[in-house]
Structure 1
């Protein structure tokens, strides 16, 4: 009986252990799940700049935990899930980069589940295809009515292309007009053989509003490595505002029927914003080149902002009369003057920079500013009396050892009876900083009608007296402010009873320092490629150190620094400082 009882107890225990083992084995079997699986979407393709969706289908019976996506082995995207999600249709937008045609971009997709099991990697491939060449549309003759140019095409200017029909000396009234609208990102090329030029005739308009990321570009038709100043004409705008030319209506230099002038100072010739003009300045006649940007009697209704003139064969910007205002201008390595103002120009300009090349200077003598009332210095009205603020005129002379053309002259050549007003402006690297030329111009300075306030002139270490040196071989020693004229023999200049240098020093906020190296500007402004424009604020003579208070018209942004820049580079993204390497025709 005892044995039997023991046997029964042993049997019960054995059964219990067996049942527990079976239950545990069943439980463990229920927790075994297959690993996640990933299936990549079909291969995609597109040109640089196109958008495609990277896609994949994911399954994870144990519940999804994470999804990892790599682009050519580098992290691209991750995604986390809740344990309840067992499947997903993944999609993520990708913008194809500027890669060569035929390049493959591989996206590796891996999923993990709640059991930390990983899927086999799946690959989604994007193939880069060639960008189809843009159609080149040749434009000739006269354009009337409403015309639109779009960025999907390239427009070639053949000969003198005119918007509107005012090609006589008559007034614009009753003459057929046009409005040319140019889409952001559009490229326009000038035909070299025909001296391609775009002229907005008096009474017509151009609406060329690019963006910081898609500027509008006027440039040479020639290939990379072949472009040079004077490859085509330039951009010319003619308006109906006043000038001081005889009769008030005249042709622009070169007699190419660019008639301008009238009595409407509020005239509206349209809008230019984020526009570059490169390699312009072809000679129409001997010694009569078109400027990169030419403004003939343009009225105040016109808008000019964020404009760059590069490698022009004449002036970068020239105003013949008119009252148009402008902000954010770049003159880069032009041949003649950076900013030329005459024939009664009375507009406002703020934030402008001129940068020179060491050997690129014109036989007429190259200056930062060249300002005249008219060609003879008469008292014709309206006087050339623009107001400028926050300009940086950077000559070519970086150091004593830098060779520059002997044709460079002055940061500011103020002559022939003009009445310019200049504020918060910086000049360096020219043989002379300021030249107030002629008795009538001196008289305007003496009477307070020509104004220089908060102007800083900086020399070059070891280059002549106070850092200013030789100009042309016939010129005497350079000056921060020229005190003798260019006659032979030279004669003293006077503003009232003071030498010009003494007059300059007595004006509010003006100063001359021995070297630009103490002003906080970067040495890169003298070189090629994109400069660093922002200032080093801790420099001994920092241009950011503040200015004497002046009251300017409401157009001007209030600033407390000298020059075109302080802590912000307004040329970023839209300006180009190496246009010779840009492929425009694709």
Structure 2
């Protein structure tokens, strides 16, 4: 063997071995580090709140997978195609867990080299409901002001949006726009008769939601709230009424500088959606209370939808002139009238319901509708002529054994020259269903300028011999449709040559029934519980409705405020006396 060749071969093999070792080491050294994860900060929230679950991931060798566990169980996973970084985020709705408990989210990633990261964690704690921060509000609000749901606003005295407090409207008076967030609570100071007044030229934008309504209510604690604990919500507009001319306005009852009226029927005072007003109606002067909702000459540019008035000491809703339209209104257990209209009100209303408490009635007499042209029954123009569709007026008399206040009067008291037009309505549980009161008003019925179309008046089974207490005692003893007035001695009423009851029965779709049984109404409507509004299968009210002319009115084939859908769901409250408003919802 040639020693020299052998030496060269050995040397060559050694070099090749070293090269292989070098290359192997080089390849191993080129594998990047394992992935790293930084989880989001610990957070807390209320049951039902949404928490953000987040993590930041780095993977020099490229990401392959991410696994997220919630308390050790699968919550989420994600696959990648080699990205070297990622910002992960996912919503978690906090479950109904005990206050103070925690939910632990863990994150672990793998990369393209099957290297795994260490485990990172984010903790979500279930917190108690925080209290709202109290804020006192006084005086005049000007400019753009927003109220937020994390606070509770206390109205001290007459709080005004805008500075228009004189008889004649001035375009130079300071104006304001008050915006109120969904879920905000406003309380009225009892001692100072706290009241919110939106003056002419200013606006309120109070747009709640079904899940987060805006609530105006009593300042008093649970168990102590009562009607008249504070003033109410007042909006003054610049539309036409029949008591003033031009920019010279009239003042609302109580003389608290609620001047309203003008010449702009399209005036815009803002928007109210999903708003409740509770325990309002404080007397400003003796027998001069503020209504829960007061609309003075409010124009058609204003939006009113999903409003509830509960336990007011005066009317639940009152319109003094104006042209504003409204849908989805609830008048619940007020003391005086559910819906009061006068001074030339000409708006459209649809889907409205009034419900009474058996002993809650006013000394002036309590009605579902009370409608006048003005206090004298004059022909002052514009005439009060609202168009109203889909109405349920549920009086206090649940059964013939239910004892009710003698101050209850009429489901509809139509008087003093009104030219109201009502379609698709049901009236029950009142001593009188319909009372067309006064010579001018009866003449309007005869001429067709007052319309009752598809109105069902129903009595209570075994309440007297007609379902309205006739032949029984004690008073009140009433009528489905009154054919005599309330004078002593009573005088016969006439629509042309007809008795009002005969005229009523001759109108399209109208019915007089001795009992509400069979209409499809739930008896819960008479009770102090959350009512069932939807009609029972096969109820008389489920069909036969009509649609009044005009683009405002929605199609509805039923009679009354409800068919198969309950539009009060979530946002309404039929037991506000036990509601804790001190916490942020």
Question: CA, structure 1 residues 210+238, in 2 after alignment: closer, same or farther (shift >3 Å)?
Answer: same
Does 1:154 find its partner at 2:155? no
Task: Please report how far the alpha carbon of residue 369 of structure 1 lies from its aligned counterpart in structure 2 after TM superposition.
Answer: 0.2
SS class of match (2:466): helix
In structure 1, what is the equivalent of residue 29 of structure 2?
none
Selected match of 1:183 from 181, 184, 190: 181
CA contact (8 A) 1:465 1:479 kept: no
1:568 alignment counterpart: 565
Would you say the 8 A contact 1:278–1:312 is kept in 2?
yes
Which residue number corresponds to residue 273 of structure 2? 273
Match of 1:35 in 2: none
Match of 2:576 among 575, 579, 583: 579
How far apart are 1:507 and its partner, in Å?
A: 0.4
Conservation of the 8 A alpha-carbon contact between 2:547 and 2:556: no
Distance 1:510 1:76 in 2: 63
8 A contact 2:314–2:335 mirrored in 1: yes
5+ residue gaps, structure 1: 1-40, 57-66, 82-88, 110-122
Structure 1 counterpart of 2:167: 169
CA contact (8 A) 1:431 1:470 kept: no
Correspondence for 1:143: 141
Distance in 2 separating the partners of 1:376 and 1:274: 36
| Cα gap change, 1:552 to 1:43, in 2 (>3 Å) | same
Kindly indicate whether the alpha-carbon contact (under 8 Å) linking 1:239 and 1:296 is maintained by their aligned counterparts in 2: yes
- Cα pair distance change 1:356/1:476, threshold 3 Å: closer
- In structure 1, what is the Cα distance between the partners aligned to 2:207 and 2:471? 40
Structure 1 residues 103, 385: CA separation in 2 closer, same or farther (over 3 Å shift)?
Answer: same
Q: Is residue 244–residue 261 contact of structure 2 (8 Å, CA) maintained in 1?
A: no
Which structure 2 residues correspond to residues 503-514 of structure 1 after superposition, within 5 A? Answer: 503-514=503-514
Structure 2 stretches lacking a partner, 5+ long: 1-38, 56-66, 80-86, 108-120
1:251-296 CA distance string (max 9 Å, x none):
0000000000111111111111111111111110011000000000
The CA deviation at 1:45 is 5.1
Q: Would the aligned equivalents of 2:509 and 2:544 in 1 still touch at CA under 8 Å?
A: no
Name 2:525's counterpart in structure 1: 525
Query: Which residue matches 2:556?
Result: 559
Question: Residue 423 of structure 2 corresponds to which residue in structure 1?
Answer: 423
> Is residue 94 of structure 2 the alignment partner of residue 96 of structure 1?
yes
Query: 1:69-108 CA deviation, whole Å, 9 max, x = no partner?
Result: 788x9x9968899xxxxxxx99864323566643456899
Is 1:537–1:545's contact at 8 Å kept on the other side of the alignment?
A: no
> Distance between the aligned counterparts of 2:44 and 2:549, measured in 1?
53
Q: Deviations over 1:190-217 (max 9, x none)?
A: 1111110000001111111111111111
Distance 2:404 2:381 in 1: 38
Question: Matches of 2:227 and 2:375 in 1, distance apart?
Answer: 26
- The offset of 1:410, in angstroms, is 0.6
- Which segment is superposed worse, 216-225 or 292-301? 216-225
TM-score under structure 1 length normalisation: 0.82
Structure 1: distance between partners of 2:341 and 2:156: 29
Does structure 1 residue 445 correspond to structure 2 residue 442? no
Query: Equivalent residue of 1:440, what SS?
Result: helix
Q: CA separation of 1:456/1:176 partners in 2, compared to 1, >3 Å: closer, same or farther?
A: same
Deviation per CA, 1:28-65: give whole Å up to 9, x if none. Answer: xxxxxxxxxxxxx9995523144346799xxxxxxxxx
The answer for the alignment partner of 1:215 in structure 2 is 213
Distance change in 2, residues 1:256/1:551 (3 Å) = closer
- Measured in 1, the distance between the counterparts of 2:358 and 2:75 equals 49
SS of alignment partner, residue 518 of structure 1: coil
* Alignment partners' CA distance in 2, 1:434 and 1:510: 12
Say which is worse superposed, 466-475 or 370-379, in terms of deviation: 466-475
TM-score norm. by structure 2 comes to 0.82
Q: Greater shift after overlay, 316-325 or 472-481?
A: 472-481
Which residue matches 1:227? 225
Aligned residues: 524
Q: Is the 8 A contact 1:409 1:471 kept in 2?
A: no
User: Cα deviations across residues 521-543 of structure 1 (Å, max 9, x unaligned)?
Assistant: 1121112232111112313x3x0
Does the 8 A contact of 1:341 with 1:384 survive in 2?
yes
Contact 1:407 1:471 in 2 (8 A): no
CA contact (8 A) 1:400 1:460 kept: yes
Q: Confirm or deny: 8 A CA contact 1:406 1:472 kept in the other structure.
A: no
Q: Distance in 2 between matches of 1:217 and 1:550?
A: 32
Q: Within 5 A, what are the aligned runs for 1:236-315?
A: 236-247=234-245, 249-315=249-315
Shift of 1:151: 1.5
Q: Distance in 1 between matches of 2:370 and 2:216?
A: 25
RMSD after superposition: 3.2
